[in-house]
Structure 1
Amino acid sequence: MRLFSLILILLITAPVKAATLMIVGDSLSAGYQMAIEKAWPSLLPDVLADKNQPLDVVNASISGDTSGNGLERLPGLLSQHSPDYVLFELGANDGLRGFPPNLIENNLNQMIELAKKSGATPILMQIHILPNYGKRYTEAFAAVYPKVADQQGIALIPFFLDQVITHPGWMKDDGLHPKAEAQPWIANFVANQLINHLELP
């Protein structure tokens, strides 16, 4: 009886491990040309905690990654980190290289299915690209994301860059990457989107 009571006390008092979100992205999430602790994924846990949504965050983003690179890395990442949620922020580099939208769609579908099989809940971020390749391509590219999210039955959250790019002084001279000054706003924006799709105690 005494042993049972001790076990019960330990179970009650043991800290509950926070769920884990893994972000699989490119330079927009990897902290391009800045200290990693200033990048929005590093700021995200504190922002979520302030909103009473504690979540551990693993930033598995690499600058320059395409959706194909993400697909290649994903099995190892899922095995290593065993995340509860996976946020996919990929495709911008595919678009910049003019990759066919159906290739991006196929890669995203495969990644989402791998995440589901691992037991994680996938979340997809909408990506838009600059209209350098013409209206037809940019519209076909953008349409991939709602199509995949709908087919897979998963959440699609808005692209943070659509709003960051409108703020003077928040973008680097390349016109593609947010500065460190924009990262706290991005973290708050992403947190507000995520909390609609998290199932946390």
Structure 2
Amino acid sequence: MKFSYAAPWRPFQWAIGLLVLLLTLPALAQEPPRPVPGIPPTILVMGDSLAAGYGLAADQGWVALTARRVAERKPDWRVVNASISGETTSGGSARIVREVLRVRPAVVVIELGANDGLRGLPLREMRRNLARMIGASQYVGAKVLLVGMRIPPNYGADYANGFEQVYRDLAAHFDVALLPFLLEPIAADRGNFQDDNLHPVAGAQPALRDHVWKSLTPLLQKPQ
């Protein structure tokens, strides 16, 4: 599995912050960010089938493996996996306010976009949806790790390049941590994927966990 990308998208970044406020703040207005007594600092994962562990046992996916490592190395933290197979950024955007108010996370890992790209959905909508998710997470005081993806050029090189650039632009605009390509450590070997050539096998999950862990660890400072 090999992907190629480049080509930046830059215009109208100033509008993203305003758009997030318009879409998010009304729903959060009654819930100002504050610590919740008795709830441990939480990592909330909002992802698609790659984070939900499609085709794997419940304890085999990289999120489950990350939760196990968190329990060992950061025992005062917990991981909540709210990922759904087939999820798009639109679905994540529709769920984000409910989830951050329910979980009150200290860190939100956003791993969405692959299904948008595979369906050729408009990049402006993907950008808007991810921006809303980041904005809602930051409003409740959570740090954000944005996990990017690359797609094959089925819809043309411009689309594939623009798709990858969305993550970089949002990470820069909102000043959040970025892992540019989730599958980077395993993408070159076809043997790391199930028969659909999309979902990693169980044996590849530890490499994904380690890849994410490098970007996640700096965010795991216990909130005051």
Name the TM tier (shorter chain).
Answer: 0.7 to 0.9
Select 1:67's aligned residue among 66, 89, 105.
Answer: 89
Runs of 4+, deviation exceeding 6 Å: none
Higher relative contact order (CA 8 A, sep 6+): 2
Whichever structure has more helix as a proportion of its residues is: 1
Question: Is 1:85–2:107 an aligned residue pair?
Answer: yes
Offset of 1:18 from its aligned partner?
Answer: 4.5
Task: Note the residue ranges of structure 1 that are not aligned, 5 or more in a row.
Answer: 1-15
Deviation at 1:154, TM superposition (A): 0.9
94, 99, 115: which is aligned to 2:116? 94
Cα distance in 2 between the residues matched to 1:191 and 1:200: 16
Q: Does 1:47 align with 2:47?
A: no
Percentage of pairs with the same residue: 39
Match of 2:185 in 1: 163
- Give the counterpart of 1:32 among 48, 54, 58: 54
AA partner of residue 165 (structure 2): A
> Does structure 1 retain, via aligned residues, the 8 Å contact 2:65–2:209?
yes
CA distance in 2 between partners of 1:70 and 1:200 (Å): 26
Tell me what 1:132 maps to: 154
In the alignment, is residue 150 of structure 1 matched against residue 172 of structure 2?
yes
Q: Which has the larger radius of gyration?
A: 1
Q: CA RMSD in A?
A: 1.8
Given that residues 53 and 200 in structure 1 are in contact (C-alpha distance below 8 angstroms), is that contact kept between their aligned partners in structure 2?
no
Flag structure 2 segments of 5+ consecutive residues without an equivalent: 1-37
Kindly state the Cα deviation for residue 106 of structure 1 after the two structures are TM-superposed: 0.6
State the aligned residue count.
185
CA-CA distance at 1:34 after TM superposition: 1.4
Aligned partners of 1:26 and 1:112: how far apart in 2? 16
